[in-house]
Structure 1
């Protein structure tokens, strides 16, 4: 006789890597998660990300580069 099998949340299937989570968040919900130091971005793109982050959430702790 086989009983019911229960797999607790987070213990089944394959764990997605962070880039997959970010990509899915963008495609499914329009949410963009990007690191200000992402090497795939050009300097102007990283600067735009930094400015958007500061406008929405304030300056980062310990960031002395921009007053």
Structure 2
């Protein structure tokens, strides 16, 4: 029998499930301003909150 340390092998959790559990258990919200489930005003609110709490992100060069 092969023994693996905790965290190695097995099934990975679905990222959406991890986010959902984080919100329910710890009150942590993980959301991307680019999430297509958000309306434009909601995306803009997330961007404004990010800028206020963490500062503006460096500008990414435009892709051709």
Tell me the TM-score range normalised by the shorter chain.
Answer: 0.7 to 0.9
The whole-number CA distance in structure 1 between the counterparts of 2:55 and 2:34 is 17
Runs of 5+ consecutive residues of structure 1 not aligned to the other structure: none
Asked which structure has the greater CA Rg, the reply is: 1
Task: Map 1:27-42 onto structure 2 (within 5 A).
Answer: 27-42=24-39
Aligned counterpart, 1:7: 4
Q: How many pairs are equivalent?
A: 60
- Tell me how large the CA RMSD over aligned residues is: 1.8
Gaps of 5+ in 2: none
